[in-house]
Structure 1
Amino acid sequence: MPPSPPSGSRSAVAGRLRAAGCVFAEDEARLLIAAAGSPAELAGLVDLRVAGRPLEHILGWAEFCGLRIFVEPGVFVPRRRTAFLVRQAAACARPGAVVVDMCCGSGAVGAALAASLEGLELHAADIDPAAARCARRNLARAGGRVYEGDLYGALPDMLRGRVDVLVANAPYVPTGDIGMMPPEARVYEPHAALDGGPDGLEIQRRIAAGAPSWLRPGGRLLIETSRRQAPEAAGMFRRAGLIPRVAGSDDLEATVVVGALPVG
């Protein structure tokens, strides 16, 4: 009978993670082992993950669109599906475009756009001080400017009528559904980064209503939402004076509503 693997081996760590319900246990074990400086530190990291702490908060970073995004504990973790929002925004932008990442969280969307497009004038805003702090770190290399405040109230007036692409991964979980989310989201991420109001669209309505004052003619607003919410989101874009379209990715289970401000 072969001996039991040491507690710090990848197979043993992966076994603990798998038993705790981690779907990608082998990958997570590899990352935790690489992050630990000693067997005792590894045991502590594994205990945190088994208790439900997001892997990204334990490591201090998240992988997003091929980038390593710095993420502090208590900050919203960028989701894989949001890569579709980045792709749609990149398709709307041109080199040197003025881009605003609204409800930026860690700044992951802005950082990914800056990595894929040359010479962006990049701005980002979030109401949460911890998120704004992370975003400043993640967007520093791209020269991005980060503002702390409530939606458009955070932005400088010099951006009015100049924005080519306004992108927002605003909260869109209905308040009543938050209790059904996995513990690593509802316990460890800020409530304000998840709660979109009774129907999940409360913050998106505010963003859509204010967008025409900030977009240049022909500029685009892009918001991530769910497939179920997309028809109502498109309607609120239309009521704000934007021409909407809905884009979706089956592979990423992602939905984005794009609204264009008419020229003239």
Structure 2
Amino acid sequence: MLDPLDQLKHLVVDSCPELQEIEMNCCLTTFKYSGTMVPLIFASTSRLINISIVFLAYEPALSYIVTGFPSTLPRLETMTLLCGEHERTIVPEGPFKFTYLRNLRLELVLTGHENVRNTDVLDYAHLLKIAPFMETLELSMWITSCRHQPYREEDGELRMGPPHQHAHLKSVRISGFFGHKDQVELALHILRICTMLEKMEITPKLEISDELALLEYRYEEQQHVDGHRVATEFVCKEDHRNVVSVERATPFCWETHEATVEERLLKRRRVE
């Protein structure tokens, strides 16, 4: 006789403050979770192919991807992860690979302390090493609570990520590109090592899906102007295959933006 849970294919867990652990031995294919980091334990034979996680507290995304439960999922194809980070984490080296991962969307709120940011966007070059068959990458950033400092040549030479080739990544979209030095370095690293890259879209526009974060955002036109200028000057200059496109941010109306976000939040409450 089949266990009733064997028929369960999709599971959504949304903001359960008393939750301490999730352990599943069924055949889920899709899992969505929002909340604080708790142990998420799935059977070693899990068939999960699509996961989406929103952390409601500061958590190091890169470290979690490598050492958290996603590393135990042998069939994972698509992953979305939203979290806030205020400290840089050292990623452990190891033989682990996301062999099946094809699509990755990372939404990062990178915050500073006393106008200084300790996180390093170039660290995310490690993703290309552990996901050798990834085909699409979306990196949505919001850099906040730190000094806006667009890259200039006098800021020093641009660093390079780990030297290796990635033969499957075809599409990259980087949003929230304000022109910071480490953002430029990551874009150039992807451009240099991804031999099959067909398009890289860069925009200063914020595209994270966290409505509450967007509600708190105050548009600063200079960030968008600098992001477009730096991407055009330093990334497009290294584009010898004509795959990079840099989008301008559309004129921003705070009143319209605020009303739109509040409407989305209201609709979400009605659904819940």
Report the TM-score, using the length of structure 1 for normalisation.
0.33
Determine which structure has the larger strand proportion and give its number.
Answer: 2
**Greater RCO, 1 or 2 (C-alpha within 8 Å, sep 6+):** 1
Higher helix content, 1 or 2: 1
